[in-house]
A = this chain, B = another copy of it.
């Protein structure tokens, strides 16, 4: 464990999409580019199979709140609810510890 570890925040976004998700990919890319420019943004991980899981990482709760209220993001959220998602859940989390593994033969 890194003794210099400084806690940060993660937003876990789990979702189920509708069958017709026209326009979704473009919007997702646009929002990812926009998020990267936000104050306090640290990174994002995303994967999708039966459900989608996107985890974004942030320096503070304030940064998360600012991003949630960003004008273009508000519009994207609205479109998400009406067009693309049949269900989603958002969890705001404080990352308290972390550790990492890298294979020596990779």
Contacts and interface: CB of A to CB of B under 8 A. Distances in A.
Contacts of A81: 101, 103
Number of this chain's copies in the assembly equals 2
Q: Is the interface of A mostly helix, strand, loop or mixed?
A: strand
A94 interface: yes
B102 A98 contact: no
A93 interface: yes
A104 B97 CA distance: 38
Interface residues of A, number: 35
Contacts of A97: 91-92
A55 interface: yes
Given A10-B12, A12-B10, A86 B102 contact: yes
Contacts of A86: 102-103, 106
A39 B71 CA distance: 43
